Homo-oligomer: A and B are copies of this chain.
């Protein structure tokens, strides 16, 4: 059994490239594929789904606020209803490409600012849940936030992820940044192992905080993402540790 590692993928757009998707695929078990609202276009989505299929990697949807120019990392005040509709649109669009390849949708993982908003706001998390229920799959999110509280309450499977390439605050919450920086692969792998095995992370101020790592997330736009993914995979494989869920 391979350690559960997920990665946001297909985040290019038109001629623009973002992330080394091909190089990352061998190390991961689940791809969260962008759906055109913060990144990706139909061609990129088609290519990414095909790539995941070739590597036997599960495909989840990675829907976003409608903000291509801001890469979905700027909060927008949207009504829960229109937000749910935006998510259904994006997940449905991705499913078209899965249908073509004969693949099933594995999960949904909200992107960027939407992820953060759903972590804090029960209203937003409920909107996410309402949309995901249409597709009956698991939701990836962060333990200790509204994700963990709302999604299961709405009858959805919740898969908690730990971010190998981001820092954590003293409250156990991940610190979202607009641009991702390179991290030390060895340190990232050791932190990931500790998160999966012990449920503990060290915060940016040196405090031990509780985390729950059913799956490890590596961002494809972290500059040295491949090295990080490989180090995490190797470290967890050697330790015979793997996360719990990567979706259905």
A86 smallest CB distance to B (angstroms): 5
Bound-state Cα–Cα, A85 to B93, Å: 10
Q: Tell me whether B14 and A68 are in contact (CB under 8 A).
A: yes
Interface size bracket, A side? 35 or more
A231 smallest CB distance to B (angstroms): 24
A235 smallest CB distance to B (angstroms): 29
Q: Which of A18-47 contact B (CB under 8 A)?
A: 18, 36, 41-43, 45-46
Copies per complex?
4
Q: Tell me whether A99 and B67 are in contact (CB under 8 A).
A: no
5 interchain pairs, CB-CB under 8 A: A15-B18, A46-B88, A92-B94, A96-B134, A96-B135
| A70 proximal to B (CB < 8 A) | yes
A residues with a Cβ closer than 8 A to B are: 12-18, 36, 41-43, 45-46, 66-71, 74-78, 81-82, 85-86, 88-97, 99-100, 113, 134-135, 178-179, 221
Q: Tell me whether A96 and B92 are in contact (CB under 8 A).
A: yes
Bound-state Cα–Cα, A41 to B42, Å: 16
* Most chain B beta carbons < 10 A, residue from A67, A78, A93: A93
Bound-state Cα–Cα, A28 to B82, Å: 27
